[in-house]
Structure 1
Amino acid sequence: MFPGATDEREEADAAAGRADANFVVVGAPLDVSTTFQPGTRFGPQRIRTFAEPFDDYDHRTDQYFSDLGVVDHGDVRAWDDVPEYLEWLEGVLRDIVWDDAVPVTLGGEHTVSLAGVRAVEPDIVVSLDAHLDLRDDYDGNPLSHASVMRRVLDDELDSVDELFVLGARAGSEAEWDRAEAADVTVVPPEDVADWDPADRFEGRDVYLSVDIDAADPGYAPGTGTTEPFGLEPRELRDVVRSIAPRATGFDVVEVNDRDDGQAASLAGKLVREFIYEHAVAQSS
Structure 2
Amino acid sequence: MFPGAIADRDDADYVVVGAPLDVSTTFQPGTRFGPDRIRRFSETFDDYDHHTESHFSDLGVADHGDVRAWDDAAEYLDYLEGVCTDVVWDDATPLVLGGEHTVTLANVRATDPDTFVCLDAHLDLRAEYDGNELSHATVTRHVLDVADEAVILGARTGSEAEWNRASEADVTVVPPGDVADWEPDFGDRDVYCSVDIDGADPGFAPGTGTMEPFGLAPREMRDVVRAVGETGDVVGFDVVEVNDRDDGQAASLGGKLLREFVFADAVGSV
The bucket for the TM-score relative to the shorter chain is over 0.9
2:223 corresponds to: 238
1:264 corresponds to: 251
2:193 to 208, 212, 221: 208
1:175 to 159, 162, 166: 162
1:88 corresponds to: 79
Runs of 4+ aligned structure 1 residues displaced above 3 Å come to none
How much has 1:19 moved relative to structure 2? 2.3
TM-score, normalised relative to structure 1:
0.93
How much has 1:58 moved relative to structure 2? 0.8
Confirm whether residue 23 of structure 1 aligns to residue 14 of structure 2: yes
Unaligned residue ranges in structure 1 (runs of 5+): 8-16
Root-mean-square deviation (CA, aligned residues, Å) is 0.8
How much has 1:281 moved relative to structure 2? 1.2
CA distance in 1, matches of 2:214, 2:201: 6
* Matched-pair identity in %: 72
2:98 to 94, 99, 107: 107
- Name the aligned partner's letter for residue 93 of structure 2: V
* 8 Å contact kept, 1:241–1:274: yes
* 8 Å contact kept, 2:9–2:63: no
- Name the aligned partner's letter for residue 202 of structure 2: P
1:4 corresponds to: 4
1:217 corresponds to: 202
| Aligned length in residues | 268
* 8 Å contact kept, 1:30–1:41: yes
How much has 1:129 moved relative to structure 2? 0.2
How much has 1:197 moved relative to structure 2? 2.1
1:223-268 superposed Cα distances (whole Å, 9 cap, x missing partner): 0000000001000000000111221100000000000000000000
1:94-147 superposed Cα distances (whole Å, 9 cap, x missing partner): 110110000000000000000010000000000100000000000111110000
Confirm whether residue 248 of structure 1 aligns to residue 235 of structure 2: yes
Unaligned residue ranges in structure 2 (runs of 5+): none
- Name the aligned partner's letter for residue 152 of structure 1: V
1:186 corresponds to: 173
CA distance in 1, matches of 2:184, 2:170: 15
Confirm whether residue 140 of structure 1 aligns to residue 131 of structure 2: yes
CA distance in 2, matches of 1:111, 1:167: 18
CA distance in 1, matches of 2:52, 2:110: 29
1:50-105 superposed Cα distances (whole Å, 9 cap, x missing partner): 00000011111111111111000000000001111000000000110110000000
CA distance in 2, matches of 1:69, 1:197: 25
1:2-46 superposed Cα distances (whole Å, 9 cap, x missing partner): 000128xxxxxxxxx322101000000000000000000000000
CA distance in 1, matches of 2:137, 2:177: 23
- Name the aligned partner's letter for residue 223 of structure 1: T
- Name the aligned partner's letter for residue 155 of structure 2: A
Matches within 5 A, 1:54-69: 54-69=45-60
Which SS does the other structure have where 1:147 is aligned? helix
2:148 corresponds to: 161
CA distance in 1, matches of 2:80, 2:64: 12
Confirm whether residue 280 of structure 1 aligns to residue 270 of structure 2: no
TM-score, normalised relative to structure 2:
0.98
CA distance in 2, matches of 1:191, 1:59: 27
* 8 Å contact kept, 1:18–1:99: no
- Name the aligned partner's letter for residue 186 of structure 1: V
Confirm whether residue 34 of structure 1 aligns to residue 11 of structure 2: no
Which SS does the other structure have where 1:35 is aligned? coil
1:126 corresponds to: 117
